Amino acid sequence: MLPYRSQGIKVSRPILRIAVISISLSIVVNLLTFAIVTGFKNEIRRKVTGFSAPLFIQNINNSDFYESDPIQRSLALESTLKNHPDVLGFNPVAYKPGMLQAKNETQEVLGLVFKGIDSMYDRSFLQEHLSSGRIPEYSSREPSDELVLSANICRRLNLNLNDEVTALFVKNAPIVRNFKLVGIYSTGFEDYDTKLALCDIRVLQKLNDWGISGQLELGDSLVNDLLPVVLTLQGNAENMLYDWGKGPQRYRGQVISPLIRDTTLRVKVFKIEQGQLLKIDEHAIRIHLEGEKDTLSSEFYKESLNPSGTVYRYHLPLSESKERRFYVESRPGDGTSFRYLSGYEIRVKDWYKVEKTLAALQRKVELIPTENKELVKVISIFDLEKDLFKWLSFLDVNVQIIVTLMLLIGIINMGSALLILIIMRSNFIGLMKTMGANDKSLRRIFLIQAAYLIGRGLLIGNGIALSIYYIQKSTGVFQLNPEVYYLSEVPVELTLGTFILLNIGTFIVGVLALWLPSYVIASINPIKTIRFN
């Protein structure tokens, strides 16, 4: 029995078409709902974990993720991470809040977070979203001043590639540091694009005053007619000894004759730790006498010759009219700041095993002191972005509601169509019953007819849904407001498994739901229908 082109059911054609359209609309809406929600969740996850890994190890005392107590690099921790079967890799990182100043004269500043990365950092996500320039390697011996910003930040501050960027950091006093903009990225994920700048981890390690650092400087007055050379230190200077060439001692300074012409002084810094003497740094200072000049001031002062203050001209007054000038170049050691981190970012092999990997790492590293006598904790991206992932979980509820409603609409329309089909074919049913056909065989005929209509609706709906899917996938024609939805365009992602299951599920549910209306056939009296017709 062919569908609704047979003689005698012309009246039912509009109803049957509406039923087919409702099934088509149902599968279109359901397929696109799954594609959009899956794409949205996966794209948000990819971008969040691109900026910050799924798991993070940090100091156990930390409550503020971006401005927190550091931990020291731990070979024991790194060995645990390397040997864990679910860990793909890890990277040391450092964070520091700061501000960037606009290029124009408006003096506009933008608060953001600087993230320090090293030469081994996984740059694949950044390379994928790089708009112009490059992602620096940070592999030089000296800390690099190269900076990477988002296109959004560059627009707001009127910055272009290769511009010099002024950054301000707050310590005991404001610190100004200049960077060179070498890379611009754009992910479309506004929540991070507007707040994150990438730089060399060594820059932030020093700016955070982690560990011990310092440099040799000339004093600002004579001591017993001698010129003092003092090692100024930042950080915890307890249990330190200093070797000026005559063995370790507790004095951080030396004195030299103000008549000296050219000399270079060196000092080695040692720390007493567990009864052992460990060398942690070495500093040098080169002093060159430029000669005696007419005095510019009756007081000692330093004339800085570079931004960091390591090269300067030292003015030593001899009388009211004369002064001795020295060219001074201080060569600070590496310090111990490079040993300190905000923590380790941990990448996992399987996103769906994040919670399992988190629990396993917590058992292995938490409440167990490292070789540096530090306690650490492991947190997940779900702790850092609670609101975001809670919002994403609500999308699953929305999907369930939408799919249920669309299935109900389709079932109701198909049920109505089946009832109309049965009524319009009541003469046929009566005739078949008089010829010996039972209700079961007649129900099967009409259910096959209904299944045909459902299949046709699915075929049309799949064609429409897949067309919209591929148009959006290839062109991104449907846009979003990134300030509201985090993304700049509607993401779509549909797996073959989801596509097949949704179609099979719709077909089976539709046919089973029509089983009850088909029992109307049993109530049809063959004698009455034949007599009526």
Q: What is the pLDDT of residues 493-531, one digit of tens each?
A: 998 998 999 899 888 887 877 776 666 655 565 655 555
Q: What is the pLDDT of residues 201-222, one digit of tens each?
A: 999 988 888 888 888 998 888 8
Structure-token pair, residue 322: 């004369």
Structure-token pair, residue 163: 């511009």
Residue 351's alpha-carbon distances to 27, 53, 80, 163, 208, in angstroms, are 29, 11, 19, 38, 33
Show the CA angle centred on residue 332, arms to residues 328 and 338, nearest 5°: 160
% helix, strand, coil for the chain, step of 5: 40, 30, 30
Structure-token pair, residue 191: 């929540």
**In the chain, where the domains are located:** 10-48+388-532, 61-210+338-374, 213-335
Show the CA angle centred on residue 44, arms to residues 42 and 462, nearest 5°: 45
Half-sphere exposure of 89 (CA within 13 A, CB side): 6
Residue 495's alpha-carbon distances to 31, 395, 460, 469, in angstroms, are 10, 18, 19, 12
H/E segment holding residue 446: helix 439-475
pLDDT 10s digit of each residue in the chain, 533 long?
Answer: 444 444 444 546 777 787 788 888 889 988 998 899 888 888 888 888 888 899 999 999 877 777 778 999 999 999 999 999 999 999 999 999 999 988 766 678 889 999 999 999 999 999 999 999 999 999 877 789 999 999 999 998 989 999 999 999 887 667 888 999 999 998 888 878 888 999 999 999 888 888 888 889 988 888 888 889 999 887 777 888 999 988 888 888 888 888 888 899 999 998 887 778 888 889 999 999 888 877 666 678 888 888 777 898 888 887 777 888 889 999 888 888 888 999 999 999 999 899 999 999 999 999 899 988 899 999 999 988 888 888 888 887 888 888 888 878 777 777 777 677 666 666 666 666 666 666 677 777 777 877 888 889 899 999 999 999 999 999 888 988 877 777 888 889 998 998 999 899 888 887 877 776 666 655 565 655 555 55
Show the CA angle centred on residue 466, arms to residues 483 and 125, nearest 5°: 45
How would you class 258 by CB atoms within 10 Å of its CB: exposed for 0-12, middle for 13-18, buried for 19 or more? middle
pTM value?
Answer: 0.76
Q: At what angle do helices 439-475 and 13-51 cross, to 10 degrees?
A: 40
Question: Cα(429)–Cα(201) distance, rounded to whole angstroms?
Answer: 82
Q: What confidence score (pLDDT) does residue 426 get?
A: 65
Bridge partners (DSSP) listed for residue 234:
213
What is the radius of gyration, based on Cα positions, of the chain?
37
